[in-house]
Amino acid sequence: MLIVIADIQIRSGAQHRQNVFNAFRKIIPVVLQEEGCYGYELLIDQESNVDYQTKSADVITMLEHWESIDHLNAHLQTPHMYAYQQQVKDDVLDVKIRILQKGLSS
């Protein structure tokens, strides 16, 4: 099982953030139906008011769980991912993807 963290750097401003949220609302149900997808969740910073939290208002994080790299690669080639990329091309500045696995077995 792969754990993918995609940090999506968006342009500053509420409209850019809302555009990306709207695009994800459309594709999340579709992605969750893809073969090998075990989770696909949009995360934003919690307003916790603690001094040890690192926050970035212009970053949206996707937490994903995929059965294998082949499933992840297939996901990235789907028509809905291409449509998503076109829809947010003026809102997203950069995407950093980390592909992780569990470091300790249970």
Domain residue limits, the chain:
9-47+55-100
State pLDDT tens for residues 20-44: 999 999 999 999 999 999 999 999 9
Q: Percent of the chain beyond pLDDT 90?
A: 83
Burial of 14 (0-12, 13-18, 19+ CB in 10 A): exposed
State pLDDT tens for residues 64-87: 999 999 999 999 999 999 999 999
- Segments in 5-96 forming alpha helices (H): 14-31, 69-76, 79-88
Name the CATH code of domain 9-47+55-100 (choices 3.30.70.100, 1.10.540.10, 3.40.190.10, 2.60.40.420). Answer: 3.30.70.100
pLDDT at 49: 84
